Chains A and B, each alone.
Chain A
């Protein structure tokens, strides 16, 4: 079955530590996205990528970094510069920009 796999499901970060969230898709979608969701709020775009080796900042990119070396993979690194990283992180993909986005199951990140 085609889909989007995010790992891990839960992640804990220590002070000063960088952590990387994994996102893999086998839908053959060109575009991939990372969102952050805080309790009771909508989704906010962190980064998106239209094609391999290219990505753009979203509304809240500070303290985060991404790479897109393969079509299937779009990992997100939460750096120590992100002072409030506790949130639900969602990865999504779409065939094109005007098409619906499909989501993985998400990763919950907390501070130890």
Chain B
């Protein structure tokens, strides 16, 4: 079992709809969780950080964390074509090391 798992996609969502991206992790002691967006050929860009159970909202983005079930999700409301990218989930082990999922490719259809 991979330490951080994401559905590779592609996930295709109509413009204006809600995109839902999921990530599960195996290490129960993980303390911090991050979502990054990576456009093709570019470096990852931080979208959201979440540290405690529940929801965290920032503009059109909402991160949800459930430590008991060991999953973290990212919701993108009112999806735009510019949201088309690969979304990477990263989980902190607590020792300066992030464990990365392979990413989910999101396609927003105009």
Contacts and interface: CB of A to CB of B under 8 A. Distances in A.
Contact of B102 (A40, A50, A106): A40
A63 interface: no
Nearest to B2: A42
Given A43-B44, A103-B43, A98 B102 contact: no
Q: State the main secondary structure of chain A at its contact with B.
A: loop
A98 B91 CA distance: 10
B32 A98 contact: yes
Nearest to A91: B43
Interface in A49-92: 50, 56, 58, 90
Contacts of B44: 43, 90, 103
Interface string B21-45: 0000000000110100000001111
Interface stretch (B11-19, B56-64, B70-78, B93-101): B93-101
Nearest to B102: A42
B4 to A, nearest CB: 8
A88 to B, nearest CB: 8
Contact of A42 (B34, B92, B97, B103): B103
Contacts of A94: 96
Interface of A: 31, 40-45, 48, 50, 56, 58, 90, 94, 97-106
